[in-house]
Structure 1
Amino acid sequence: MFARERYDIILELLNREGKVIVKDLSSRFNVTEDCIRKDLRYLENNNFLKRTYGGAIPIRKTAHYNKISDRRSANVREKLIIAKKAFDLIEDDETIFLDISTTNIMLAELLSKSDKKVTVITNMIDIISVLNMENNIKVISTGGVLSKDLNGYACSMTIDVISNYKFNKAFIGSCGVDLYDNSVTTFEVEDGNTKKAIMRNSKVVYIVMDNSKFYFGGTYKFAHFEDIDVIVTDKIPSDQIVGIMKKNDVNII
């Protein structure tokens, strides 16, 4: 097998498993461990991975900032899986908060088609539009200064309103998590501060995000793993990531 072929397989394994081990790769390709170390060094020098003791892990990347309107058409299948999982977590007579998130728009659509009787508090206009005609759902809007990029409210006025409520469950959007410092991220400072206020007032905090966001993130840290209870995602990530979350008492579903 040529080195270029090994590179492709190594990167495929890395993306799927979250890490690779020199000893395992040596056995898989039937080459020496020194040969594998040379492969990993080449891939690291070309910014494909980061070498660790005995193996390698993916390089963490910063996600591209996009307006909410541009995000709606991305990863639709994955978001629907997440929305269905979140929907099953909601019970009658609960008060829930749906944060600014394109996944939460899909969750609102599922609620609108159900007979669940819940109170939904939200700072996102799209969610208000989906739920405003449903008699079984009481909708409370936070109001505030409109962010056109987010199509929702994220400001000090919004935070003041949020502080007056208590939620059984909050479903929070995120640009990704950082496994190296145990943080949860977004892009906008005001959006992040608003998320903090939501989390402070919720009994259970769910982060809704697709699996790719375990490897990408935003630029503003609004929480740490200790602040959240569950990550709702489309598929369970690598054992390495599950282990990190377990150490921080965060469940993944």
Structure 2
Amino acid sequence: MLTSQRKTLILDILRRDGQVIAKRVAEDFELSEDTIRRDLREMAAEGLLKRVHGGALPIAPDLPDFTARRDVASGVKARLGARAAEMVKAGQMVFLDGGTTTAEIVRHLPRDIAFTIATHSPTIAAELEHHPTAEVILCGGRLYKHSMVATGAVAMAAISALRPDLFFLGVTAAHPVHGFSTGDFEEAAIKRHIAQRSAETHVLLTAEKFDLVSPCTVLAVSDVAGLIVPAETPAERLQPYAELNVAIAAA
């Protein structure tokens, strides 16, 4: 088997299983474990995976800061935001996570029914300044500037007083085995707390976030009610999530 063929198969295993165990792959390929470890070292150097003891894990690329992310896949984000906004009903409390995709929900919210938006993001709250029917609850705390959201004990306490009907969650990575994750421990804890307080959690995912793992786990796939994804997402990429009984809405 050629080296390039092995590496392609290794990536297939990584996408399918969420991890590569060097000993198991060596046995399956009928090769030495040293050969597989060399392949993994080379692939890690190429930025294709993250080497760990005994094998490898997927790797999520570093995200640019909040301002730089605003123009990334803006058309797709607008579609996802519009689809999410369609789910909002009169009288509901909806918790909006921070992020540029979530900001598109605000821009598509209905303007002829009354509802409440709760958020720990000052940028999301500011987007609602001129909305005619939305009541706004802004949860404060220590500002995590990368995502422009409040974190820490003060934010936790404020969120604990709420019981949202819907939570629209933003993450940096999604994987059917490792769940939804993000890059900051405190931010992940806040997201997880909001989900625990909410009746339903839905995740908006752009294409580049699939099959990746960021350092801090937020939720397992089975912990959310649904995904909102681009309509052009390949069916085989979505199948592992559907098998976990997660509703999938295309936009």
TM (norm. structure 2) is 0.74
Distance 2:59 2:185 in 1: 19
Please name the residue that 2:224 is paired with.
228
- Alignment match of 1:248 (pick from 244, 247, 250): 244
- Alignment match of 2:70 (pick from 65, 69, 72): 72
Native 8 Å contact 1:92 1:116 kept in 2: yes
Native 8 Å contact 1:170 1:199 kept in 2: yes
SS in 2 for 1:62: coil
The alignment status of 1:176 with 2:167, answered yes or no, reads no
Distance 1:175 1:157 in 2: 24
Identity of aligned residues (%): 18
1:161-240 equivalences in 2 (<5 Å): 161-179=158-176, 181-235=177-231, 237-240=233-236
Please name the residue that 2:104 is paired with.
106
Please name the residue that 2:79 is paired with.
81
Please name the residue that 2:136 is paired with.
139
Q: CA deviation at 1:195?
A: 0.3
- Residue 66 of structure 2 aligns with an amino acid whose one-letter code is I
Q: CA deviation at 1:236?
A: 5.4
- Cα RMSD after superposing both structures: 2.9
SS in 2 for 1:61: coil
Q: CA deviation at 1:64?
A: 1.3
Please name the residue that 1:37 is paired with.
none
Native 8 Å contact 1:82 1:233 kept in 2: yes
- Alignment match of 1:124 (pick from 121, 126, 139): 121
Please name the residue that 1:26 is paired with.
none
- Residue 133 of structure 1 aligns with an amino acid whose one-letter code is H
Q: CA deviation at 1:123?
A: 0.7
Deviations 1:47-106 (A, max 9, x none): 4989xxxxxxxx943121322112111110110110011011111111000011211111
Native 8 Å contact 1:211 1:235 kept in 2: no
- Residue 123 of structure 2 aligns with an amino acid whose one-letter code is D
1:186 to 1:152, Cα distance in 2 relative to 1, 3 A: same
Please name the residue that 1:33 is paired with.
none
Q: CA deviation at 1:125?
A: 1.1
Native 8 Å contact 1:208 1:232 kept in 2: yes
Distance 1:168 1:224 in 2: 20
Gaps of 5+ in 1: 1-6, 20-40, 51-58
Distance 1:246 1:134 in 2: 35
- Residue 66 of structure 1 aligns with an amino acid whose one-letter code is P
Distance 1:141 1:130 in 2: 12
Please name the residue that 2:32 is paired with.
none
Distance 2:171 2:96 in 1: 12
- Residue 224 of structure 1 aligns with an amino acid whose one-letter code is A
1:42-61 equivalences in 2 (<5 Å): 47=43, 60-61=58-59
Please name the residue that 2:91 is paired with.
93
Native 8 Å contact 2:111 2:131 kept in 1: no
Distance 2:91 2:136 in 1: 13
Q: CA deviation at 1:107?
A: 0.9
Q: CA deviation at 1:135?
A: 3.3
Please name the residue that 2:25 is paired with.
none
